Structure 1
Amino acid sequence: MTDPSDRKDQLEVLWLDPLAPETPLDQWQDLADNSVDPNPFFTPEFLQPFLQAFPAATVRLLVIRAKSSQDWRMAAPIGRRRAGLAVPIKTTWTSYFAPLGTPLLRDAGGPDDVAAFVQAGAGSANLMAMPFLPCKSRVASLAAEITGWESRWAEKLSRAGHSFGDLGEIQYKTAMSGKRRKEMRRQLRRLEDHGPIRISHLTGEEAIEGFEEFLKLEAEGWKGRAGTALSSNPETALFSRNVIKNRSLNNGVRIDQLWAGDTLIASLILFIEGAHVFSWKIAFNETFARMSPGAQIAAISMKQNLQSPGILEADSLAVPGHTMIEPLWRGRVDIGTLVLSKGPLGSSLASLTAVDLKLERSLRSKAKAMKAVFG
């Protein structure tokens, strides 16, 4: 157990504007590079392009810093939003483009750092939430140890991912065994009718060019028709291009491609952060839908991940129950919304938050079911 007041003379709290010129990007990036729980979306490479493209987003960077060394111990963007349908609450920042809310915690960080972070983040309401937080993360574990604070999982979900080493190989062989392997090989042979099969894994500057090919492919599909492709509006186009450019400079992005001759069949964008892989965006040529291009590129990427040295875990970032990725990436990534509260008022608000989230998810599921029935 720990109380942040025990180290108030050793730690200090900073609230920074992520876009301000005086915000020390080198210290921010150093923390991201040495975080025990990697999160590509809380790095300056990602967060700054997002906030530049969407200035309406009210986000402040909460930093816990050691007074003596000035080293950043813990940091995350914080915003105020509704947890579900009604209850306003301070949260670590997540979005449709960034479904991971794990704060950056230095690999040598401990419970005192997390305690100071939660106390500052919660503010006078004594209430904050961390959505899309991996349940097995070190931050989640340490948050449960803070003296005087109650932690509860307002919701828990499980999405596709995969392991590495022997377990990862078993998952891959299980997913690609028997009928599925035979069918996917047959589909690849049909693709060969349109030209020789070619697989590319683009990193560095090649990824920048590969991303332009991705944007074109995505815009030609249903997302383009619906206006939700990254290139459909100037803001998302600018933001995503800058993110890929930033990350490519540090080999933090890989773009996997499946070609048949000169035709791009499918493309998957992955972020590499520390020993973790996060699949960010996927696009495929709908003309070849009967050849399962999405499943083909997901299987290709998993195989490449397993062959990459130093990688320990992959997170699909996909919605739970995704029909394409879950049969292939057989591992599970358990995530949830962790709500932290203190005192009677904070506890009451935390209970309301849990009910609010449950109601929102129930209504969303019903709406999805009705759409499936009525179209």
Structure 2
Amino acid sequence: MHSVVDFEAIADLKVDGRSRAHGMTMRPAEVDPEAWHSLADTALEANGFLSPGHFLSLTLNTRQARLSRMLVSRGPLGINGLLPLTHAWHVLRLPVPALVLAQPYLPLGTPLLGTSDPVRAAGNLIDAANETGAALIGLGAMTQDGLVAQAFTAALSERGLKPFIRNAHERAGLSAEGDAETYLRGGMGSKKLKELRRLRHRLEDMGPVEFRVARSSAAVQAAIARFLALEASGWKGRRGTAFANDANDAAYISGASRALASRSQIEICELLVNDAVIASGLVLRSGRSAFFFKTAYDETFERYSPGVQLTVDLTRHLFDDPAIDRADSVAIADHPMIDHVWRERIAVCDFFIPTRKGPAVNLCIAAFDARYRARALAKSLITTTRTRRKPN
């Protein structure tokens, strides 16, 4: 039987005998939308995946996110911290008193903290989780050395605690400073760029080639429909992992795109030949950051590297956008394509936050470590099996 976490509990943080600020739990749909938008737009670290437009669509359309509850920190000026969590049993089938941010389509687990007294806000969230009965908070793919991690580490230190770091790695990022062409040459090299230009000329032999960005609500809705069809036509569709393979997933991304477009928080970039889309990418925007979320391409054009062509065009587009300073690829470590285009590296990790001292914390960490070992073994067995099946 799995351990019980009381999500209905409410924790008031007392400071010097007075209730200056507090943390609480509530359903995501109960959070004041304008306060949520305001925090997301000005957060200490941007996370477009925790904006209300994106996350509420997840809660409406995916079972795991539907079970989420929001930890909320309030300060003198209103909401200054938000963290959606789900019991580890519901998401990972781990029977331990832990809450996790590990939902489908959340490739960044950095909580939203306000810029005013983020350490206190982090502490409010920790104490609110503790009051639900949780001994540990697990944040998947959180920025490891950012300001939010520093705030939680400081809040833990005040409580005589330390975070646990697991699965630390780096993924590609972009710093959109300077000149795009100089940046691309520095990462890809002149030879590779020359080859891409040659392939571009071959595409132009077939008809007009255009890089197009959908921003308005109407344009985004039309572009997301094209994206769904393009993705389903490729290997993701055959594997069953395309959005269109699952009605709930398709409803989620369509709803999220609609909500995000209403606040100019999404762009859909497309590469077209003869007005037919051969590559498409979903880019979320939050604050001065962009997140290169999903891509799809027409496999009949694979010899022309449509995904790389799209990424290079997107890179130029981001450099030209004065509202964007940086971008996160949200890709796996050592990605074979974007690691050669975007030169910066973003350190991410699974960041575990104990809410108190005691054996329950050790039990939770031991369960997560066992899960990491089991996944590593399964991955090794799959790799070995595939290698043995390859013809000599």
Note whether the superposition's TM-score is higher than 0.5.
yes
1:62 aligns to 2:109 (yes or no): no
With 255-264 and 343-352 compared, the bigger mean Cα shift is at 343-352
Q: How many Å separate the matches in 2 of 1:168 and 1:103? A: 31
Tell me if the contact between 1:84 and 1:357 (Cα under 8 Å) persists in the aligned partners. Answer: no
The AA in structure 1 aligned to 2:332 is V
Q: Which residue of 1 aligns with 2:142?
A: 133
Tell me if the contact between 1:340 and 1:350 (Cα under 8 Å) persists in the aligned partners. Answer: no
Identical residues among aligned pairs (%)? 24
Once the two structures are superposed, what CA deviation does each residue of 1:199-258 show, in whole Å capped at 9, x if it has no partner? 111212222211111111111111122222112221111111110011111111111111
Q: Structure 1 pair 331/367, CA: closer, same or farther in 2 (3 Å)?
A: farther
Once the two structures are superposed, what CA deviation does each residue of 1:306-352 show, in whole Å capped at 9, x if it has no partner? 11113121111111122121111121111001112232325523641
1:363 aligns to 2:383 (yes or no): no
Q: CA deviation at 1:36?
A: 1.2
Q: Which residue of 2 aligns with 1:338?
A: 351
SS at structure 1 position matched to 2:43: coil
With 243-252 and 129-138 compared, the bigger mean Cα shift is at 129-138
Q: How many Å separate the matches in 2 of 1:371 and 1:182? A: 39
Q: Which residue of 1 aligns with 2:10?
A: none
1:29 aligns to 2:29 (yes or no): no
Q: Which residue of 1 aligns with 2:173?
A: 161
TM-score between both structures, scaled by the size of structure 2: 0.87
TM-score between both structures, scaled by the size of structure 1: 0.91
Q: CA deviation at 1:184?
A: 0.9
1:101 aligns to 2:114 (yes or no): no
Q: Structure 1 pair 53/358, CA: closer, same or farther in 2 (3 Å)?
A: closer
Q: Structure 1 pair 103/288, CA: closer, same or farther in 2 (3 Å)?
A: same
Q: How many Å separate the matches in 2 of 1:25 and 1:318? A: 29
Once the two structures are superposed, what CA deviation does each residue of 1:101-149 show, in whole Å capped at 9, x if it has no partner? 1111112232111112112224434322221110122120011112212
RMSD: 2.3
The AA in structure 2 aligned to 1:15 is T
The AA in structure 2 aligned to 1:81 is A
1:17 is aligned, of 24, 27, 39, to 27
Q: CA deviation at 1:176?
A: 3.3
What number of residue pairs does the alignment pair up? Answer: 368
Q: Which residue of 2 aligns with 1:259?
A: 272
SS at structure 1 position matched to 2:380: helix
Runs of 5+ in structure 2 lacking a partner?
A: 1-12
1:72 aligns to 2:79 (yes or no): yes
Tell me if the contact between 2:99 and 2:136 (Cα under 8 Å) persists in the aligned partners. Answer: no
Q: Which residue of 2 aligns with 1:203?
A: 215
Tell me if the contact between 1:160 and 1:329 (Cα under 8 Å) persists in the aligned partners. Answer: yes
Runs of 5+ in structure 1 lacking a partner?
A: none
Q: How many Å separate the matches in 1 of 2:275 and 2:323? A: 33
Q: How does 1:318-329 map onto structure 2 within 5 Å? A: 318-329=331-342
